[in-house]
Amino acid sequence: MVVLLALGSAVAYGISDFVGGTLSRRVSPWTVAVVAQCASTACVTVLALSTGGDPTSRDLAWGVVAGLGNGIGGVFLYRGLANGRMAVVAPVSAVGAALLPVVVGVVSGERPSAVTWLGVACAFPAIWLVSRAPDPEAAAEPERSSGLLDGLVAGLGFGLLFAALGQVPDTAGLRPLALTQATSVLAIVALATVLRQAWLPRERYAYRALYIGGLGALATTLFLLASQAGLLSVASVLASLYPAVTVLLAVMLLRERIHRPQAVGLVLALSAVVLVAAG
């Protein structure tokens, strides 16, 4: 069950990133992130109110921590994609998102089997390779390092999101997740204010980010359920395969070519899923 839920989360995240990355080239990434997270908050709140659960103050606190990570990760990912540096931002963010929860899971006592560890070992290079694409223009840009910084910050943010949600038990229901989404909105607005970035949705295309919010709500809900159904280390690695979905959508819808490193990465990603499922 953890494999199916985590892969469902990866698919939802991958579609969300594809749509968000495209929209962020027309609309401010700060605006996209705010509108998307507001929509996610509304979706998850409705689910939380219609389902049961008895969250403790500790569960709600983890929800707030996860929200900080979600807000930071989302806005820096969109900013990196908006600047046309997907080849830098996507792999770094995905590896960061997978690595931190794996460390937290192992430290907290998780002991995956040898086969599962082999799948995890395949997943990390898969995440990196599937996101790589020849980008001669980016290589010539003197500011390419800013793309790396965006990826690092986004990866730490998503890693914090996954690690914190992994601490929420199934008895808590979805209320901590609703708090996560609401906190992410506040985190984005606070960051935008500090960095003096416009975040109010004034562009006419901004409200298309509502679709992203629905996908984001689905992705985080599936990940929460996956982390409760199995090991956090496994759920986070499989959910972090989302760049593979983004790349496949770009191939199918934008007619982009799959280059050799990406093809190797897709094969490794498939191997990782099979090994983790077998373990």
Q: Residue 76's domain spans which residues?
A: 2-278
Q: What is the pLDDT of residue 219?
A: 95
The tens digit of pLDDT for each residue in 87-100 reads: 567 777 888 788 88
At a CB cut-off of 8 Å and minimum separation 6, what does 140 contact? none
Alpha carbon distances (Å) from 161 to 93, 207, 240, 274 = 12, 25, 12, 25
Q: How many domains does the chain have?
A: 1
The better pLDDT of the pair 109, 220 is held by 220
C-alpha span between 33 and 82 (Å, rounded): 12
The alpha helices in the chain, defined as continuous H runs, are: 2-23, 29-50, 57-82, 86-107, 114-131, 136-140, 144-165, 175-194, 209-229, 232-239, 242-254, 260-278
pLDDT digits 0-9 by tens, 224-247: 999 999 989 889 888 988 878 877
What is the rounded CA–CA span in Å between residue 98 and residue 101?
A: 6
- The tens digit of pLDDT for each residue in 142-163 reads 444 446 788 889 889 999 999 9
pLDDT digits (tens, 9 = 90+) for 70-88: 999 988 888 877 775 555 6
Tens-place pLDDT, residues 211-225: 899 999 999 999 999
